[in-house]
Amino acid sequence: MLSIFNSVFRTNKTYLEETDTMKKFLIVGLGNIGTEYTETRHNIGFKILDAFAQKEDLAFETVKLGDVASFKVKGKTMLLLKPSTYMNRSGKAIKYWMEKEKIPLENILVITDDINIPFGTIRMKTKGGAGGHNGLKDTQLMLETTSYNRFRFGVGADFGTGRQVDYVLGEWNTEEKKILTERLKLASELIKSFVLSGAKNTMNQFNGA
């Protein structure tokens, strides 16, 4: 009962410790809540944050508009967010936590699947369109800008005409699962690099890897 009270009470104050806003980062993994979506390609954002949390021994807590966990590294603090708003309303959760924690736009990183790049390829950009991705469309709408950092994880485009939705909401195949473990480790390294080294250095090091 006490833990529930604390979770509710915490939504009325900042989740991260009070610190210089430029040292606070919001890392958002896009996905859909529910066990039926857990192993789907569209949920790679959630999967990457889960892998990062497991590596750093972090626990997520269910609070307003999502599950969150915090992590401090070399004087910088990041809030990991898995929105509970479903993919099409991802921007609502992002905007809420960005404003609540007073995190500057340049310190936000949104992780998403991308059918336009080969499976397993990782690519970071500091701006750009939504590329038909509903989660990015809503993020752009709520933040009123296309200039925000996004980390795109390639899921490939091995689907026929009119089968895109079935493909991204489909589960990883056997071969993909074999490769995912190492790619998730690399994705975690990218997140930490973004926080410690900045967007430009991270893009130079990881794009196309």
Which residue in 27, 32, 40, 42 is the catalytic one?
42
Cβ atoms < 10 Å from Cβ of 206: 18
Give the sign of the dihedral formed by CA 57, CA 203, CA 121, CA 116: positive
Neighbours of 66 (CB within 10 A): 23
Q: In 3-state terms, what secondary structure has residue 6? A: helix
Residues 199/131, Cβ–Cβ less than 8 Å: no
Continuous segment of H or E residues that includes residue 81: strand 76-83
Q: What is the C-alpha to C-alpha distance for residues 79 and 110, in angstroms, rounded to an integer?
A: 12
DSSP reduced 3-state for 150:
strand
Residue 1 CB neighbour total at 10 angstroms:
5
133 is catalytic: no
* Catalytic positions, written as ranges: 42
